[in-house]
Structure 1
Amino acid sequence: MIDETGKLPSGIMEQSQKLLDFAADYIKLPESKEMAVTFVDNKRSHELNLEYRETDRPTDVISLEYKPDNEEFFFDEDMELPEELLEEMDPFIGELFISIEKAAEQAQDYGHSIEREYGWLVVHGFLHINGYDHYTPEEEAEMFGLQEEILTAYGLTR
C-alpha cells in the first residue's frame, strides 16, 4: 500500500489492510495472492481513468485486474498451460487506485464516516479484481450483496 498524497487520514491504511485480509478470507482467496493499493489525488485518478477507462473525469476507485497469460512465462510457444497453473505461478492479481478526495466527498454526500467510505471503496475494488462486476442487475445484486455482507461482517456498517 502506498499513499502518493501524504494526506491519507490516520488509520485508513491499517484499516484497509485488515479489511482486505478479511475480505480475502471471506471469499476464500488463496493466501498466496497479492495486490497493490495506491491512494491518489483527483488529478492522478483523472489521468488513470482517462488512460484505462477512456473517461475524462476523476473517479473514486479504479480496479485493474491482472490475468497472467502464457507470454508472461518462459515456456515453449506451443505449450498450453491450464488457467489454474498460471494463477498459481503468478500471485499478483491486480491493483487499486483510490482517490482520497473522492472518498472525502462521498463520505460527506452519503452521510457516513470516512472509515466506512474507504472500506466500501477497498472492498468494491477488491471484488472487481476478483471477477465481480455490476453491468447487469443480476451482477449488481450479487456484487453489492457480497460487498455489504463483507463490510457488515467486518463491522463497518452504515
Structure 2
Amino acid sequence: MSAIEIFNNAPDLQVQEDSAATLARRVIADEQLEVSSLNIIFVDDAYLKDLHQRYLDDDSKTDVMTFSLNADGPIEGEIYISLDRARAHAQTYRVTAEMEVARLIIHGLLHLKGYDDHTAEEQKLMREKENACLARYPEGVAFYDTGY
C-alpha cells in the first residue's frame, strides 16, 4: 500500500486525517493507481492563492492544486486543497462540506492519474469520474471548524 500523509495546515478549518486517508486509499484502489507516496495538504485560501500565483502565474483563488513529483513510475505527488474554497463551494453547490472535500481529493487524484480539465470536454469527463467516485463514498470526509 502506498504511503499517504495528511497535513492540516489551515488555521481555522480541519479535516479528520483518518477520514481523508481512507477516502484516498479507496479511490487509489478503485482507480487502480500505482502510488508510492502521496501528500494531501489542507490549507487556507491565502496559501493556495500564493501557490497558484507562484507556479501558474494566476492571481485568482483556486480550490485544488496537484503536483506530480516524478515523470515515470508509480505516482509520487502532492495535492493542496483550500478548505476555505471547499466550504464556500459547498454552500454554492448546496452540498455538504464533507462531500466537497471528498470531491477535491478525488479531483486531485484524477489529475495525478493524468486527467486534465483545460477544455469543456475534459472538464465534463473529470466531473463524470468525480461523480462516479462520490456515489461510492457517500460519507465524504469529516470536516470541522476550529476557529471558534
TM-score (norm 1): 0.76
Superposition RMSD on alpha carbons, in Å? Answer: 1.9
Residue correspondences, number: 135
1:119-144 CA distances to partner (integer Å, 9 max, x unpaired)?
01111111111101122343233222
Q: Secondary structure at the match of 1:33?
A: strand
Partner of 1:49 in structure 2? 52
Out of 15, 19, 43, the residue aligned to residue 15 of structure 1 is: 19
The residue number in structure 1 matching 2:137 is 154
Does residue 60 (structure 1) correspond to residue 37 (structure 2)? The answer is no
* TM-score, scaled to structure 2: 0.81
Q: What is the aligned counterpart of 2:7 among 2, 6, 9?
A: 2
- Quick one: which amino acid aligns to residue 7 of structure 1? D
Tell me the distance in 1 between the aligned counterparts of 2:15 and 2:21. 13
Counterpart secondary structure, 2:111: helix
> How far apart are 1:98 and its partner, in Å?
0.8
Whole-angstrom CA distance in 2 between matches of 1:98 and 1:10:
11
Give the C-alpha shift of residue 111 in structure 1.
1.0
CA distance in 1, matches of 2:112, 2:15: 26
1:38 maps to which of 23, 37, 41: 41
CA offsets, 1:94-150, max 9 Å, x none?
101111111111111111111011001111111111101122343233222111111
2:89 matched residue in structure 1: 106
Q: Tell me the percent identity.
A: 27
Secondary structure (helix, strand or coil) at the match of 2:124 reads helix
Q: For 1:144 and 1:10, how far apart are their aligned partners in 2?
A: 23
Range moving further from structure 2, 132-141 or 95-104: 132-141
